[in-house]
Amino acid sequence: MNSISWQFPPDLIETSLQRVLPLPEKGVEPERARLQHAMRSAVFNGGKRLRFHLLLEAAFVASRAQNVELDLSGVLPAACAIELIHAYSLVHDDLPAMDDADTRRGKPSCHVEFGEATAILVGDALLTLAFEAMTQVPPDRSTPALRAMSILARAAGECGMVGGQMIDIAWSNEKENGGVIAAPKSGEELLQMHALKTGALIRAACEAGGVLGAGDVKAIESLARYGAQLGRAFQLKDDLLDVEGDPEIMGKSATDVANDKITAPAFFGIEATRRLTFEARDAALSSLEYFGAEADALRQLAHFVAEREK
Residues within the interface to ligand GRG (CB under 6 A): 47-48, 50, 86, 89-90, 92-93, 98, 105, 161-162, 165, 197-198, 235, 238
Cβ-based nearer residue to ligand GRG, 207 or 242: 242
Let me know: does 155 contact 200? Beta carbons within 8 Å: yes
Cβ-based nearer residue to ligand GRG, 3 or 67: 3
Strand, helix or coil at 103?
A: strand
User: For the chain, what's the residue count?
Assistant: 310
Q: Residue of minimal CB distance from ligand GRG?
A: 47
C-alpha 158/C-alpha 83 separation (Å) is 18
Strand, helix or coil at 83?
A: helix
Closest CA relative to residue 294, chosen from 223, 198, 195: 223
Q: Give the rounded distance of the alpha carbon of 121 from its chain centre.
A: 20
Strand 103-104, strand 107-108: pairing? antiparallel
Stretch (H or E) spanning 306: helix 296-307
Q: How far apart are CB 68 and ligand GRG at their closest, in Å?
A: 29
Cβ-based nearer residue to ligand GRG, 37 or 48: 48
Cβ-based nearer residue to ligand GRG, 89 or 118: 89
Cβ-based nearer residue to ligand GRG, 92 or 281: 92
Angstrom distances, CA of residue 210 to CA of 2, 61, 178, 233: 23, 8, 40, 21
Let me know: does 63 contact 214? Beta carbons within 8 Å: yes
Cβ-based nearer residue to ligand GRG, 120 or 182: 120
C-alpha 59/C-alpha 75 separation (Å) is 7
Cβ-based nearer residue to ligand GRG, 17 or 90: 90
Residue 108 forms beta bridges with which residues? 103
